[in-house]
Structure 1
Amino acid sequence: MGALCGSVDVDSVLGRRRSPRSVRARRGRDVTQSARRRRRPTMKDVAEHARVSVIFMNDLMAIGAMEHCREVGLRVPEDVSVVGFDDLPVSALLTPRLTTVRQPAHDMGFRAASALFVKSRV
């Protein structure tokens, strides 16, 4: 399984990158090898290694990857499993549909604002 992301300078990307590593560590898998990579994986790596799963840090990147897979003759999900993050409405319109992680942004923002409000009153 691989995780492809955008700029590693963005806080949300850093948090999302940590999650798969922590899961692998809890399951007793070696995470040092992937952590020591000198470069990030690319879609070329995916195309060269069929029968893989790739998590993208947003749905737009996942949609682009699905298109690239079609262009190079890889079938989604038969050859490559693609997972996005954010659950954009367009993900339900694709064929095949994109597997995506829903992030309840409105609820998260409401809870964060509520927590700040409560904290400021103390």
Structure 2
Amino acid sequence: MKKIKIKVNNHQLNGVLHDTPAGKKIWNSLPISSRGNIWGDEIYFSINADVKLNNAQEVVNEGDLAYWPPGSAFCIFYGPTPVSVQDEVRPASSVEVFGKVTDDFNVLKKIKRSPNVVIERAES
């Protein structure tokens, strides 16, 4: 697994990318800097990475990092979205999970609008 730093406004979190084709594509596209969008308890933003759905998931876990093909988007999931049923974490449509936030991601619940997001490689 490759370690990354996730900066969202003034919050910094650590994460890891899985040793999968999607994780490697994301690693090779770092650093990424973008203005994020918020959809329920998800932050997402478009990236320039050609990631394929090799293990498509319609429900993910809190803290998962995933790629959403329709928006070419990097997604950070930290709770339910508007299409979630009960306590599940459901993306708008299938995603490819490629990593996970390893710190307490609940600080992200305080963010209310379009955050600045930077994803970069962490020193091992």
Instruction: State TM-score, norm by structure 1.
Output: 0.27
Specify which structure has the higher proportion of strand. 2
TM-score normalised over the length of structure 2 = 0.26
- The structure that has the greater radius of gyration is 1
- Normalized per residue, which structure has more helix? 1
